[in-house]
Structure 1
Amino acid sequence: MTPADGAALVVGVGSLGLAWRRAWLTWRALPVAALVGAAVWWGAGPAGVGLLLFFFVTSSVFTRLRRRRARSAYVRAPAASRHAPHRHSPRNGWQVLANGAAASVAALLAAAFGVAAAVGAVAGALAAATADTWASELGRTAAGPTWLITTGERVSPGHSGGLSVAGTAAGLAGAIALGLLWGVLGGPPAPRAALASLVAGATGMTVDSLLGATLERRVRWVGNDAVNLAGTCAGAAVGWFLAAHAAA
């Protein structure tokens, strides 16, 4: 085990402890998250773990901040116009898989078969997960209208398939930030990594919004987790394609 591997292990275990203490994950989700982290570590090394932790920690923090703002708005609102905010519920195992399964499978392919482009798929999947979560959590709290991606109809913030300027900008910023981190941690040069992450993140976010507007809540077995999984798979496919062509 290299020093970098040891550091990744310590930080990863510490992050699981923090997730439990802060109620970011249910206790049943903890072993699922550990398996996702182990797969990413095996196939993408400490850099992959760093990207996974970036997604998980920032997304959890933004979710907590958004819920805190919702509670504050509820307290300040006149009694007659109050709408009770949703109660905080930690992420469960299915939600962990929806965001982490694509990266895990790509990492396992990289480790088992030596497919170098699969590491790009790991980054692409995590870029898509980051973009979608940042867009959702930050877009809900920002001022400005939200439109349905398929029809342009005005919808409420947080509506499945809804897009806002602030949310889209936040999602793209998250993908770029993850790409820059990938470059710093030993991936491609930072500008190229940021561009690849941006394309993968934007693709995953768009697929997520399209499925959310068309299939989610209309097809019984297509819920938010299935939509998130499809978005991360799309990001992984883009990351794989870009990595394969960059190496050609």
Structure 2
Amino acid sequence: MIHPQAIVDPGAKIGKNVHIGPFSVIGPGVEIGDETWIGPHVVINGLTRIGKDNKIYQFSSLGEAPQHLGYQGEPTRLEIGDRNVIREYCTLNRATATSGGVTHLGDDNFIMAYCHVAHDCHVGNRTIFANGTSLAGHVTVEDNVIFGGFSLIHQFCRVGAHCMTGIGTVTFKDIPPYLLVAGNTAVPHGLNVRGLKRRKFSSDSIEILRKAYKILYKSGLRLNEAIEQLEPMTKDCTEAMHFLNFIKHSERGIIR
């Protein structure tokens, strides 16, 4: 399953039924899980662990040193879960030594061509990155987020679960869960109701989230006043609790 024109370092650990295409380079310290398919002209370096049943297309670069002037060659990592699709020309970098030393991509993500995941990012599960989406360093992306093409996320920002961004969205602040956002800079355009219904959110939960959205974005209240109004809504709705906790723990501030 390893093409004779691929270069695989003896120090790499290759699982069962792994396909590695011609002219791909697999460096020492790399671990590749069972049933993973790696196309031609892929470069995987550094302390990079890739799980099972992933598909990595041509000209992608995984596990290279972080693009950070403070990086001094420390043994940092890139960890990729299972069943991810990483399309052409994607770049996922290892972490720096300042924030735990790990860049992480979870399971069942679909990363389209020309996307970039920078050092120290943490991406959850079942996300979709449309072409050209880029995460700067230290970005956190929760589960089930969909990025429109060429979305740009500033360093240290967080993107909440079940969000969807429009084409060319740029944000310098945190995006709370469940929102539709677009623009440069990003502004909210309501709840991602269609996405929530697809993911089997109950009608009661969606209605509570609609009310929470109106309090935060339509009431004219200051943020601390809106938080007070949101508190009672979390008692019977775990989704509203996540919405509120995300806002409370924002260090960069949220888009409004």
The TM-score normalised by the length of structure 1 is: 0.30
**Greater RCO, CA 8 A, separation 6+:** 1
Larger radius of gyration: 2
What is the TM-score when the length of structure 2 is the normalising length? 0.29
Which structure carries more helix by proportion? 1
The structure in which a higher percent of residues are strand is 2
